[in-house]
């Protein structure tokens, strides 16, 4: 299944590691992500603890270069830049409830901006969300909607109309398949939103 904006529904992540920050143990989720490079991500939080950093709430986020990652970190005040080969990883910790909330929002915005340009990664270990195999459901919906897409496409072409710019350079069959998959993706997004 591709990991991208269509499949990033809220999922349960079972902690598989721990870190200690300021004497507080945090259960974390740790995973390696592989492509032409390998990055390990580890993230966890105590959740809200009732106020500012003095109440004990801690949030932890780490990215590590496992192999061949062009990762850099720059200190804003002095402009010094370090490359991944010079560091084991980048680790951020936050203390307090509102810091958890604002960091989550910052990550959400970052995800939304960057995912518009990312292709996504194959995730062979991903468990079905809510017990539903969404990739299988996507296939079934696309298969069921395909005859209607084919009929509509034929009708448009028979009437002498063009299919539209998003289908330029495609055969009629490719356009029909693209429409069926697009409808399936849209329907799945709505189904997940309602869960």
Indicate whether 23 belongs to any domain: yes
Q: What digits encode the pLDDT tens for the residues 11-31?
A: 678 889 999 999 999 999 999
Indicate whether 127 belongs to any domain: no
Indicate whether 129 belongs to any domain: no
Q: What digits encode the pLDDT tens for the residues 122-132?
A: 554 555 556 77
Query: Which residues, at least 6 apart from 2, have a Cβ–Cβ distance to it below 8 Å?
Result: 119, 120, 121, 122, 123
Shared-domain flag, residues 14 and 43: yes
Shared-domain flag, residues 107 and 153: no
Shared-domain flag, residues 93 and 139: no
Q: Which of 102-106's residues contact partners 24+ apart within 8 Å by CB, and which partners?
A: 103/59, 103/61
Indicate whether 156 belongs to any domain: yes
| pLDDT for 5 | 44
C-alpha 22/C-alpha 54 separation (Å) is 11
CA 72 to chain centre: 21
- 8 Å CB contact between 102 and 57: no
C-alpha 144/C-alpha 179 separation (Å) is 12
Indicate whether 39 belongs to any domain: yes
Name the domain boundary from 122, 149, 174.
122
- 8 Å CB contact between 21 and 60: yes
Give the domain extent around 155.
134-193
Q: What digits encode the pLDDT tens for the residues 60-101?
A: 999 988 887 888 877 777 777 766 566 668 899 999 999 999
Name the domain boundary from 99, 122, 145.
122
Domain count, the chain: 2
Name the domain boundary from 102, 122, 142.
122
Shared-domain flag, residues 139 and 188: yes
């Amino acid at each position: 299944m591709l990991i991208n904006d269509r499949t990033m529904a809220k999922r349960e992540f079972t902690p598989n590691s721990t870190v200690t920050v300021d004497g507080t143990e945090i259960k974390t989720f740790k995973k390696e992500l592989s492509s032409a490079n390998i990055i390990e991500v580890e993230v966890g939080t105590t959740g809200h603890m009732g106020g500012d950093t003095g109440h004990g709430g801690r949030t932890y986020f780490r990215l590590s270069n496992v192999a061949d990652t062009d990762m850099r970190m720059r200190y804003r005040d002095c402009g010094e830049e370090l490359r991944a080969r010079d560091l084991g990883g980048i680790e951020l910790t936050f203390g307090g409830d509102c810091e958890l909330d604002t960091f989550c929002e910052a990550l959400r915005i970052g995800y939304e901006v960057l995912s518009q340009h990312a292709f996504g990664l194959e995730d062979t270990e991903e468990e079905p969300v809510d017990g539903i195999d969404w990739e299988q459901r996507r296939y079934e919906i696309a298969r069921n909607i395909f005859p209607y897409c084919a009929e509509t496409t034929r009708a448009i072409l028979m009437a002498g109309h063009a299919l539209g710019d998003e289908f330029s350079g495609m055969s009629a069959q490719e356009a029909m398949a693209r429409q069926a998959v697009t409808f399936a993706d849209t329907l799945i997004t709505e189904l997940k939103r309602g869960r």
